Chains A and B, each alone.
Chain A
């Protein structure tokens, strides 16, 4: 790749535009950057850690026991707009039965066990056939399934919030445009899993305000 600009930000946008909040995290290394991420056992026990192996990323596990849930979040430091932001997650489900795996943007840290509101999430619920986009306003949540079946492969999920809708793009293909039950408050990046001895892996997260 030939660089046309000396700065990274100028690869992304002209300097004449305001530079808004922008996060890139690669989930590589010895341990998680806990100055940024909160590895949160929503319902204990849950475990967290980088995984050995090429492209293995970082594993979140809801350990053995009923209704366990583990979640990465920003401890509810919410810097991303509910009317103009994007999140990209590279994620895979370690299994595709008896679990809920999710990643995206959310307000709150109480997780999917309590069905937390104010969300725009990839929502892989094993009761469904396909990967879904779940959004929620202050009181009501709803899910729209994509055409992509639940599986255990890595996928690139892009979730974009505008003032009029929320879109979900999987591996570069726009799958869902949702206009109902959109968040009404600022959001933070989150990823997590609910289940009994169930896991998801993540290896990339990017979020920015548009």
Chain B
């Protein structure tokens, strides 16, 4: 029998941090995750989607799913894969972030913005900015599950959606290690996820 280790790494190479989460369980988040109510009071549950988390009723409410600021993934060499969907008219997305309460600093993430297209955002310690893909963001909405792969290299960020490279960005690059993060904002909106994998390259 082969080892799971050797599916991705030869034994002659010391495996770097590598996590896999299937979001399957008995109704509560697994202990590695935490939900942070940045604004308002949201909640999360394991359900038929995987895990769904949602905002409270306030118009500017914002919640993030994260590792409680245990940041183990490199800002110069890491990858995260999220399978997720957000409900229509919600703003939400997936990526890696350095601070659970400030997903606009030291991060890479997807954004469903007023531009009408799914965007790749990245942020350094003070400023974030984004670049459009050619994917209308309505295609990221329920019931469309999409696979988002975000790779942070030394000096550039890449977004691959459903296997196709959609955006590359070199400005406002993160400056600290990061954790897997997903977010949802606006009143009573839901983001659902069913798979997350992250590793250092």
Q: Do residues A208 and B32 form an inter-chain contact, with CB atoms below 8 A?
A: no
Instruction: Type the 1/0 row for B13-48, where 1 means its CB is closer than 8 Å to any CB of A.
Output: 111111110000000001111100000000000000
Q: Do residues B8 and A1 form an inter-chain contact, with CB atoms below 8 A?
A: yes
Q: How far is the CB of A174 from chain B (nearest CB, A)?
A: 10
Which of A52-60, A73-81, A107-115, A126-134 binds B?
Answer: A52-60
Q: Do residues A28 and B8 form an inter-chain contact, with CB atoms below 8 A?
A: no
Q: How far is the CB of B20 from chain A (nearest CB, A)?
A: 7
Which of B50-58, B68-76, B123-131, B141-149 binds A?
Answer: B68-76
Q: Do residues B18 and A54 form an inter-chain contact, with CB atoms below 8 A?
A: no
Q: Do residues A30 and B31 form an inter-chain contact, with CB atoms below 8 A?
A: yes
Residue of B nearest to A20 (CB): B1
Interface positions of A (Cβ within 8 A of B): 1, 8, 11-13, 17, 22, 24, 26-35, 50-57, 86, 88, 90, 154-156, 158, 169, 171-173, 203-204, 206, 208, 210
**Known interface pairs A171-B14, A208-B1; A30-B7 also in contact (CB < 8 Å):** no
Q: Do residues B34 and A30 form an inter-chain contact, with CB atoms below 8 A?
A: yes
Which residues of chain A come closer than 8 Å to B12, judged between CB atoms?
Answer: 156, 171-173
**Known interface pairs A54-B177, A54-B200, A206-B3; A29-B67 also in contact (CB < 8 Å):** yes
Q: Do residues A29 and B3 form an inter-chain contact, with CB atoms below 8 A?
A: no
Residue of A nearest to B18 (CB): A26
| Sample of 4 more A-B contacts, CB < 8 Å, known A26-B18, A54-B71 | A30-B70, A33-B30, A154-B14, A172-B12
Which residues of chain A come closer than 8 Å to B177, judged between CB atoms?
Answer: 52-54
Q: Point out the residue from B10, B33, B71, B74 that lies within 8 Å of A52, measured CB to CB.
A: B71
Interface positions of B (Cβ within 8 A of A): 1-5, 7-8, 10-20, 30-34, 66-75, 77-78, 177, 198, 200
Query: In the docked arrangement, what's the CA distance between A164 and B183, Å?
Result: 53
Q: Do residues B11 and A33 form an inter-chain contact, with CB atoms below 8 A?
A: no
**Known interface pairs A31-B32, A33-B32, A50-B72; A24-B4 also in contact (CB < 8 Å):** yes
The winner among B4, B12, B31 for most chain A CB atoms within 10 A is B4
Can you sample 13 A-B contacts with CB below 8 Å?
Answer: A12-B1, A27-B17, A30-B66, A30-B68, A32-B31, A50-B70, A55-B200, A88-B3, A88-B11, A156-B14, A172-B10, A173-B12, A206-B3
**Known interface pairs A32-B31, A206-B3; A156-B19 also in contact (CB < 8 Å):** no
Query: In the docked arrangement, what's the CA distance between A33 and B32, Å?
Result: 7
Q: Point out the residue from B3, B5, B8, B73 that lies within 8 Å of A54, measured CB to CB.
A: B73
Q: Do residues A29 and B8 form an inter-chain contact, with CB atoms below 8 A?
A: no
Q: Point out the residue from A17, A53, A206 that lies within 8 Å of B5, measured CB to CB.
A: A206
**Known interface pairs A29-B32, A30-B70, A155-B14; A12-B200 also in contact (CB < 8 Å):** no
Q: Do residues A210 and B4 form an inter-chain contact, with CB atoms below 8 A?
A: no
Q: Do residues B19 and A29 form an inter-chain contact, with CB atoms below 8 A?
A: yes
Which residues of chain B come closer than 8 Å to A56, judged between CB atoms?
Answer: 17, 72
Query: In the docked arrangement, what's the CA distance between A51 and B66, Å?
Result: 15
Q: Report, nearest first, the 4 A-B pairs whose CB atoms are least far apart.
A: A29-B32, A172-B12, A28-B19, A54-B74
